[in-house]
Amino acid sequence: MDAQFWDERYRSRDRLFSGAPNGVLVAEVTGLPPGQALDVGCGEGADALWLARRGWQVTAIDVSRVALERAAAAADEDIAGRVAWVQADVTTSAPPAGAFDLVSVQYFPLPRRPDHAALHGLLDAVAPGGTLLFVGHDLTDLPPRLENGVAPADYYQPADIAKLLADDWTVLVDETRPRTAPAPAGTHHTHDTVLRARRLR
């Protein structure tokens, strides 16, 4: 699932996603003091724009140039300066270490690797006192292999990451919960898996 794959997928529809922020993001981030946020796999930008409207300074990254162009076009003039739209691949290029008060990873397919290099890059990006919010689809809602040949179990799940966190983290939420919004057309996701953790130092 490289840049070409995602560009073609976005071009296949006028809008790929709903345009509303993810429900878990809203539930878990409301009440946090705004600071620097990293939105991983930002897509068409709904989460990044929601954060910016609430005072966050957002770095929104995606591998798809098509998605980023759509996201930037959707930004109101009063918040356009609060979001930096960046084309990047976090599986090969780590974000700046210790730079973000919030790292939000919503349904992002991060491949499992023996050295966990890309995952550690995301964890290291969280500043001391900052929050990691990692959300996935409950694997029991998914077939062992998707139509495009992807095996969901080949990607990190929030509970996997919770087990890999060192003692400089505290896990605040590690659970499966019903989705707050209907699943996208053609899918059957009824539950989300959610990890929210705070970096202590």
Contacts of 60 (CB under 8 A, 6+ apart): 39, 42, 45, 47, 48, 68, 71, 83, 84, 85, 86
The CATH topology of domain 3-12+22-199 is Rossmann fold (3.40.50)
CA angle (123, 195, 6) in 5-degree steps: 70
Length of the chain: 201
Phi first, then psi, for residue 53 (nearest 5°) are: -65, -15
Map out the domains of the chain as residue ranges.
Answer: 3-12+22-199
pLDDT attached to residue 161: 97
pLDDT tens over the chain, length 201 residues: 677 876 687 677 777 666 689 999 999 999 999 999 999 999 999 999 999 999 999 999 999 999 999 999 999 988 989 999 999 999 999 999 999 999 999 999 999 999 999 999 999 999 999 999 999 989 887 767 776 667 888 899 999 999 999 999 999 999 999 988 776 666 668 899 999 999 999
pLDDT attached to residue 12: 75
pLDDT attached to residue 10: 67
pTM for this predicted structure: 0.90
